[in-house]
Amino acid sequence: MNLCRKCFADSVEEKTRSTIAKYSMFKFDDRIAVAVSGGKDSVGLLHVLAKAGRRHPKAELVAVTVDEGIRGYRDEALKIAAENCKEFGVEHRVVSFREMFGCTFDQMVKRLKESGEVRVTPCAVCGVLRRKALNVTARKIGADKLATAHTLDDEVQTFLLNILHGDVSRIAKEKPLTDEVHPKLVPRAKPFCEIPERETALYAYVKGIRFQSNPCPYAIEALRNDARAMLNSVEEKHPGMKFTIFKSIEKIRPALEETAKKEGLGECVECGEPTTEKVCRTCQLRKQIMQR
């Protein structure tokens, strides 16, 4: 398919709008928290949603950036996120690991390494804490939905990672629009879930969007890199495979949802946030790291 720059950008915006409509992700008057890390996907999503929002004057966008406290990486991303929000007149909230969990992510990783703990990768910890920070912030600002920039690639990688971790019930929960299962959990929408990462990247270039391109210093250790490499190699030999996997997940999800429902969702005895366990994963990790 050969498209000029404008037609390509229009096609990404159109595909995103059609994914939003297909999964009924937003209502016309939703207050939407958008997770904006400063990377190409999240800044691109902010652009697409801000543009689409012009047709829905009653809908509101609030960008939320999590500052994990990763020296030399997140500082630049924060500036870029702020610049993009200013361009669209979108309110910007920043929440830091330091204020929410008591120390920066760099300090947490240092403690983890000093303890000799090798089973938990930095990204596994960061992912859990970031999800919590985003949910708590979205709830505090009264958001009806939390939009994240997960692409088709992210979705199939997560599927594979959940299989590798034996976490089958998460496959059921990780829908394009998550269900309202607990009043403290803001439903998460993924408008880019059917768009390949190479298209979201190209969209950012074509639109001249400024985004952070430096990789996170901890990314190298993530199991996700292996999942990404494997899926990219399959896609290269058999184009369309990622989308086929995505469609297969959609088909098997209803059967898995029955299993996930049986787990039930309560509140953590320590922090009161929703969890399927007595103590949520965030509190478990925090204790594990802080007490070392």
| Minimum distance of ligand SF4 from residue 214's CB (angstroms) | 11
Residue among 26 and 218 whose Cβ is closer to ligand SF4: 218
Q: How far is the CB of 41 from ligand SF4 (least distance, A)?
A: 12
Which listed option, ligand SF4, Zn ion, none, makes contact with residue 271 (CB within 5 to 8 Å by class)?
A: Zn ion
Residue count, binding to ligand SF4 (CB under 6 A): 9
Residue 216 site contact among ligand SF4, Zn ion, none (CB < 5 to 8 Å, cut-off depends on kind):
ligand SF4
* Smallest separation (angstroms) from ligand SF4 to the CB of 221: 8
State how far the Cα of 165 lies from the Cα of 64, in Å rounded to an integer. 29
Rounded to a whole number of angstroms, the distance between the first and last alpha carbons of the chain is 55
Instruction: Pick out residues in 138-167 that bind ligand SF4 (CB under 6 A).
Output: none
Choosing from 138, 216, 280, 289, the residue that interacts with Zn ion (CB under 5 A) is 280
Can you tell me which of 136, 270, 274, 288 binds Zn ion, judged by CB under 5 A?
270
Q: How far is CA 36 from CA 47, 111, 157, 228, 287, in A?
A: 11, 28, 20, 22, 28
Closer of 61 and 129 to ligand SF4 (Cβ): 129
Strand partners, 60: 31
H-only helix segments in the chain: 5-22, 40-53, 74-88, 97-101, 105-114, 122-140, 152-164, 168-173, 197-206, 223-237, 241-263, 281-290
Which of 163, 219, 229, 252 touches ligand SF4 by CB under 6 A? 219
- Both structure tokens of 37: 């890390």
Binding mask 220-239 for ligand SF4 (x = CB under 6 A): --x-----------------
Residue 245 interacts with which of ligand SF4, Zn ion, none, CB < 5 to 8 Å by class? none
Residues within window 51-80 making contact with ligand SF4, judged by CB under 6 A: 68
Smallest Cα–Cα separation from 13: which of 222, 207, 236?
Answer: 207
Shortest distance (Å) from residue 114 CB to ligand SF4 = 17
Residues 6+ apart with CB under 8 A from 120: 112, 285, 288
The sign of the CA dihedral 86, 84, 64, 149 is positive
Q: Rounded to an integer, what is the distance from CA 51 to the centroid of its chain?
A: 20
Tell me the three-class secondary structure of 52-94, residue by residue: HHCCCCCCEEEEEEEECCCCCCHHHHHHHHHHHHHHHCCEEEE
Among 123, 146, 147, 172, indicate the residue that binds ligand SF4 (CB under 6 A): 123
Instruction: Tell me how far, at minimum, the Cβ of 97 lies from Zn ion, in Å.
Output: 15
Shortest distance, CB of residue 65 to ligand SF4, whole angstroms? Answer: 12
Among 52, 103, 107, 127, binds ligand SF4 (CB under 6 A): 127
- Which residues of the chain form contacts with ligand SF4 (CB under 6 A)? 68, 122-123, 126-127, 216, 218-219, 222
